Amino acid sequence: MNTTPLAPAILVLGPPLVFKAYETEFSKKFNFLKPWKTSIPLRQFISTHSATVKAIFCSAVSPVTAEIIRSLPELRFVLASSTGVNHIDLRECKRRGIVVANAGSTFSEDVADMAVGLLIDVVKRISAGNRLVKARVWPREGGYPLTHKLGGKRVGIVGLGTIGHHIATRLKAMGCIISYTSTTMKPHVTYPFYPRMHQLAANSDILIISCALTEQTHHMIDREVMLVLGKEGVIVNIARGAIIKEKELVECLVKGEIGGAGLDVFEHEPNFPEELFELDNVVLTPHHGAVTEEACRDLYDHICKNLDAFLSNKPLECEVIDM
């Protein structure tokens, strides 16, 4: 009779981009289960391996639902490849005593770079100019429209965490006037603080969203906020799509009720609002703000450290405490 214990298995859901980039290296270190490489339905795959799954490694677009958690009696750890953990049922994890960890600040600087890049693109209409030149219609169709200066613009940052701080530092160096709203006022921050979203919008030319998606922030940016921001206002979102009421954002952009938007995230990914495709004051990217070669390498090291720590019963990095 074979009495060898089953090796602790890590169920990969997604798979995360970093897993695809480093699959060979990952697979040498850990016992990963890869449901996407089989023709078996996910529910059946999970049921087959339920006795051995000790951990889940998941991407931001792969929900870890209460149903999945309940079907894994040995599950003790959920590790997200993203900073956001809104795709994980944290209440069920807390009920079961399952530890959750995320990517921490691995992506912070890259996401801040994307936020600034999107903002510059929208304000200076770089992508629109690129299309004009490549279509060979310049200068045949007349002069390129006037754009705007970024220096001197009032930038309201929604969520002044690590990413928000990096954005603020970059834009302050470019001559922007920074203010913010957050769950609480930051005691050592000198930027003006507005406790309400409408107050921030009323005192900003630009809103950059860098907060987590929670029950409180879901659809926080609605038509009322956009109208307060005004016809010249710009919104940049590098956080989560559902923080904005996307339908109302589309309506405001199409009607010219706000000045433009730079969006790396969407409410119903991977679906994009097609009404925005023809608008030169809107720049869209495919939720890739955090994905650089350097960040993927750092994330690979971070994931390996955390999985090693979990399997060795050692302290974890970037554990999500507030569940």
Residues marked active site are found at 240, 269, 287
List phi, psi (to 5°) of 240: -140, 140
User: Concatenated DSSP letters for 106-135?
Assistant: TTHHHHHHHHHHHHHHHHHTHHHHHHHHHT
Residue 210 to residue 163: CA distance in whole angstroms:
7
Q: Burial-class residue 28 by CB neighbours within 10 Å (0-12, 13-18, 19+).
A: exposed
Burial of 313 (0-12, 13-18, 19+ CB in 10 A): exposed
Residues 6 or more apart whose Cβ sits within 8 Å of residue 104: 83, 302, 317, 318
Pairwise CA distance, residues 13 & 110, whole Å? 24
